[in-house]
Amino acid sequence: MKNKWKSFLCLSLSIFLIATLALPVEVFARGRGGGGGRSFGGGGRSFGSGGFGSVRHSGKSFQGTRQQRSSGVSRSGRTGSGSRQTVGTRPATGSRRDGSQSRQQGRTDRTATQGDRAQTRQQGQTDRTATQGDRAQTRQDSQTDRTATRGDKAQTRQDSRSDQVDKRQEGATERTQYRQDSATHRQDERLDAYDDHWHGWHGHWNGYYGGLAFGTGIVVGAAIAALPHHHTTVYVSGTPYYYSSGVYYVQSGTTYIIAPPPLDAVVQVLPAGCSTIYVDGTAYSDCGGAYYLHTGTGYQVVTAPVGAMIQQLPSGATAISVNDTRYYKFGGAYYQPFYSGSTVIYQIVHDPTL
pLDDT in tens, 245-292: 889 999 988 999 999 999 999 999 998 889 999 999 999 999 989 999
Q: What band does 222 get if pLDDT is binned at 50, 70 and 90? A: confident
The alpha carbon of residue 64 and the mean position of all alpha carbons in its chain are separated, in whole angstroms, by 106
User: In this predicted structure, what is the pLDDT of residue 198?
Assistant: 41
Note the pLDDT tens digit of each residue in 59-117.
Answer: 444 344 444 443 443 443 444 444 444 444 555 566 777 778 888 888 888 888 888 88
Amino acid 285: pLDDT: 95
User: Among 18-27, 153-162, 164-173, 342-351, which stretch is predicted with the lowest mean pLDDT?
Assistant: 18-27
**What digits encode the pLDDT tens for the residues 1-34?**
667 777 788 888 888 888 777 665 554 555 554 4
pLDDT value of position 168: 83
Domain-wise residue ranges, the chain: 1-89, 198-349
CA separation, residue 135 to residues 129, 130, 131 (Å): 10, 9, 6
Q: Each residue of 183-221: pLDDT tens digit?
A: 676 556 555 544 544 444 444 787 787 656 565 568 888
For the chain, give percent helix, strand, coil, nearest 5.
40, 25, 35
Q: Which helix (H) or strand (E) is 167 found in, with range?
A: helix 93-197
- pLDDT per residue as tens digits for the range 40-69: 444 444 444 444 444 444 444 434 444 444
215-229 average pLDDT score = 83
Cβ atoms 86, 36 nearer than 8 A: yes
pLDDT tens across 296-340, in order?
999 999 999 999 999 999 988 999 999 999 999 998 899 999 998
Q: Is the separation of the CB atoms in 228 and 245 below 8 Å?
A: yes
Name the amino acid, one letter, at 33: G
Q: Which comes out higher in pLDDT, residue 159 or 199?
A: 159
CA of 256: how far to CAs of 33, 208, 252, 253, 263, in Å? 147, 18, 6, 8, 19
- Pair 206, 218: CB distance under 8 Å: no
Strands 60-62 and 223-224: what pairing? Answer: unpaired
d(CA 236, CA 227): 18
Q: Please state, rounded to an integer, the average pLDDT across all residues of the chain.
A: 77
User: Of 131-140, 181-190, 199-208, 232-241, which range is least confident?
Assistant: 199-208
∠ at Cα 40 (34, 45), nearest 5°?
80
Residue 90's pLDDT is what? 56
3 state DSSP class of 42: coil
Q: Would you state the pLDDT for residue 4?
A: 73
